[in-house]
Amino acid sequence: MLKRTLTAIGAFSCLATISVANAATEVQWWHAMGGRLGEVVDEIAVKYNASQSEYKLVPTYKGGYEDTMTAGIAAFRAKQQPHILQIFDAGAATIINAKGATVAVADLMAEHGAGFNKEDYLAGVRNFYADSDGKMIGMPFNSSTPLLYYNKEAFKKAGIANPPKTWEEFEAIAPKLKEAGYIALAQSHSPWIFTENFHSRHNLQMATANNGYDSTDVKIMYNNPELKMHWGKVKEWLDKGWYGYYGRAWGDNQDAFIQQKTAMWLGSSGSFGGLTKSAEFEFGGSFLPYWKSIVDEPKGTFIGGAALFAMSGHDDEEYKGVADFMKFLTSPEMQYFWHKETGYVPITNAAYDLAKNDGYYKTTPDAEIGILQLNQPGGDWTKGYRLGYYVQIREVLYKHYDDIFAGKSSVDDAFAKIEEESNDLLERFNATYN
Amino acid sequence: MKRVQFSHSPIPYLFIAPQIIIICIFFLWPAAQAIYQSFLLEDAFGLSSQFVWFKNYKDTILTDAWLQSAGFTLVFSFLVTFLSLALAMLLAVKANEVIQGARTYKTMLMWAYAIAPPVAGLMGNLMFNPLIGDLYYFLNAMGWDFNHKLDSFDAGFVVVLIAVWKQVSVNFIFFLSGLQGIPKSVIEAATIDCKSNLRRFWTMTFPLLAPTTFFLVVINITYAFFETFGIIDTTTGGAPGGSTSTLVYKVFTDGFRGNDLGGSSAQSVVLMLMVLALTVIQFRFIERKVHY
């Protein structure tokens, strides 16, 4: 009896699997896009599934960036990995250096008939998730770059015409904003804006071994006079009441701008949509300021955000689906849709042209600033970085920046510590991943 | 002879089997895994690993960040345990004396118990928000230059306050039932002997509550070490400068945020040993002074 039941169950489950396989091959996509962004992701899936019948894309929200990465890793260890996993910038080294965890999207798309040409992608986007030869491993998905937002009413009140292009200009207008009753500036992500992109903007090297792209045997180069000068200034601004620090949380600093405590805010090009909804004043966007004393002509910044990685261990039929979806996702129409709905930059030149021809930037010129900044001339050190245990290194940065702000440690001491602790982490990473 | 052996019924073992299985699956097995993992350098995806003896311990224990975290954990645990016990005892003794509306008082004092630590943390977050937080404004209006985003003392104040607030109600329930367990005759005899309320408390009530207090000390230390995780994660996230990161929180950030499995495991093994030692000390040296 028992045996018969078991056989019946077995036969039934076989049938069930077959019928699913006949219907459509499922492509699992784990992502970290919550709130409105998550809704747009779901809309993308609906659009994709309606566009064809061979594959069924199933997006699943897995929490924040770190949660999604941890969930993907745990699933991989249990051999239950999704086909597509969204990994954020700081986690790129972990997944790319784990040889055999992913399939490079460049290869995947070329092999499965989706076609791939690197030149199709925007210059600032192409390299961040690529290996040292420039082959794209991850497909940039939600790509953003740091921008300056300013409150136009506050600027009018203080009698200032234009947002500052350089930090020197910032220092000239900050007292006027203070007089008008504003803290001049806040920003939401000091490792990303005031450290990583600081180096790109000023074309400074971040780490040895080609910013870490060439090897995991790498040393951090944050203990440099330019960055120390900048942080000395930031602390000075804080003490003078020109700079507001509302903690590490992204939203707390953005809220200070929305509630008009601060006149300027450094956030992401992807923040544009959210600000439009919540700010009850006229605001504008501008490029990330730079120090005239360091460079005459600033370089472009690189992208932040996250990329989609194809996890290894699936069969060809499923990879075909992944490649097909990537092709769909990078089509000009979808990129333009994503760009308009979220404020993230489109990643291909074709999508950018489509947005331009559609007149999108005539009606909303601020939406273009991020792309223009990414497309500014690149230098030797503007393609990004590939550093292991970078999530912890960001923690190290936060820790010592907090200490600088609190006056607990001098800028020199803080950066000596940053160098030492970061290098310990990089050494551990090198020992682990080799 | 064989009969004698079988006379030992297997039924008791059957009854404790579920508990034993739970301990094996949820404690012994993971603990063994953590110890094993702490000797390995392994990439996050588990594709390659090497046995490195004590490298993980050397790299992560006794570093500046670990020492800071350990120091904070000890101070934090002491403060949370002491303050939440002292406050709960005071409230319980006072509530026990109330006759009019006693039930209302007791219910009001108990219901914070139903709030999960992360929720308590989120509530605290709102109250201490620099832009809209009432308590933030209140403390600053009182002349305290309060900024828990910048100042580690202020941040410590926030997490201790929330952790204590959350725990007082649990302790209150135990103390109240402990107080009600004191025989009426003893109380009456003491009242005849001694007029001073305070003196009666220290010489009669307090010693009679000792078993409850001891039990609560053990429970509260565990709470401060482990369960406050949710509060810290939702309020300060260990900031500023890692000054409010307890050891458990550090294990979490290194392991589940940074994907350093070996280093995180080494820290959790050390933490396990610390708590084990603490528990042994409590039972060997403090429990002796408790009269049941």
- The domain segmentation of chain B, as residue ranges, is 2-37, 57-289
Average predicted confidence (pLDDT) for chain A: 91
Are A44 and A121 in the same domain? yes
Q: Which residues of A touch B46 (CB under 8 A)?
A: 76-77
- Which of residues B239 and B274 earns the better pLDDT score? B274
Are A122 and A236 contained in the same domain? Answer: no
> How many CB atoms lie under 10 A from the CB of residue B99?
5
| A73, part of any domain | yes
Inter-chain contact A402–B239, Cβ cutoff 8 Å?
A: yes
Could you tell me if A16 and A105 lie in one domain?
yes
Cβ-defined contact of B47 to A259 (cutoff 8 Å): no
Domain membership of residue A383 (yes or no) is no
Q: Which residues of B touch A406 (CB under 8 A)?
A: 150-152, 240-241
What kind of architecture, by CATH, is found in domain B57-289? Answer: Orthogonal Bundle (1.10)
Note whether A97 contacts B43, CB cutoff 8 Å. yes
Return the percentage of chain A with pLDDT > 90, whole number: 80
User: Where does the pLDDT of residue B137 fall: very low under 50, low under 70, confident under 90, or very high at 90 and above?
Assistant: very high
With respect to residue A380, please indicate whether it lies within any of the assigned structural domains: no
When divided into structural domains, chain A yields a total of 2
pLDDT-derived band at A134 (thresholds 50, 70, 90) equals confident
The structure tokens 């992807």 sit at A270
Which residues of chain B from 184 to 223 reach within 8 Å of chain A, CB to CB? Answer: none
Reference B246, options B263, B223, B276; nearest CA is B223
- Helices B206-222 & B261-281, crossing angle to 10 degrees? 170
**A19: pLDDT confidence band, cut at 50, 70 and 90?**
very low
A interface mutation test: which of B37, B39, B41, B43 has the most A CBs within 10 A?
B43
Residue A381 lies in a domain: no
Q: And the tokens for B118? A: 């992360």
Query: Is the N-terminal amide bond of A332 cis, ω within 30° of 0?
Result: no
Torsion sign, CA atoms A373, A375, A379, A381: positive
- A428 and A289 both lie in a single domain: yes
Give the mean pLDDT of B231-243: 90
> Dihedral sign, CA of B221, B226, B227, B228?
positive
Phi, psi of A64 (to 5 degrees): -65, 180
A87 neighbors A81 (Cβ within 8 angstroms): no
Residues A393 and A344 in one domain: no
The answer to whether B262 contacts chain A (CB < 8 Å) is yes
Give the mean model confidence (pLDDT) for residues A320-338.
Answer: 95
pLDDT in tens, B160-200: 999 999 999 999 999 999 999 899 898 889 889 888 888 99
Q: pLDDT tens-digit profile of B9-52? A: 888 899 999 999 999 999 999 999 999 999 999 999 988 889 99
A114 shares its domain with A237: no
Higher-pLDDT residue of A341, A14: A341
Whether the per-residue pLDDT at A18 is higher than 50: the answer is no
Model confidence, pTM: 0.88
Judgement on whether residues A156 and A245 belong to the same structural domain of the protein: yes
d(CA A340, CA A333): 11
B:134-153 residues touching chain A, CB 8 A cutoff = 149-152
B contacts of A247 (beta carbons < 8 Å): 130, 149, 239-240
Q: What confidence category does residue B3 fall into, taking pLDDT thresholds of 50, 70 and 90?
A: low
Residues A21 and A150 in one domain: no
Q: Is there a single domain that holds both residue A132 and residue A165?
A: no
Residues A195 and A86 in one domain: no
A399·B130 Cβ contact <8 A: no
Query: What is the tens place of the pLDDT at every residue in A197-218?
Result: 999 999 999 999 999 999 999 9
Local confidence band at B132 (pLDDT 50, 70, 90 cut-offs): confident
**pLDDT one-digit tens code per residue, A139-151:** 999 999 999 999 9
Range of the domain at A190: 146-301+388-432
- Which of A325, A340, A374 terminates a domain? The answer is A374
- Residue A286 has a pLDDT of 95
ipTM of this complex prediction, to 2 decimal places: 0.84
Give me the half-sphere count of Cα atoms (radius 13 Å) on the Cβ side of residue B83.
17
User: Measured between CA atoms, how close is B178 to chain A, in angstroms?
Assistant: 43
Domain end point (choices A329, A349, A374): A374
Kindly state the tokens that stand for A384.
């990004």
Cα dihedral A151, A157, A158, A163, rounded to 10, equals 30
Q: Using CA atoms, how far apart are residues A69 and A269, in angstroms rounded to an integer?
A: 23
Rounded to an integer, the average pLDDT of B53-70 is 92
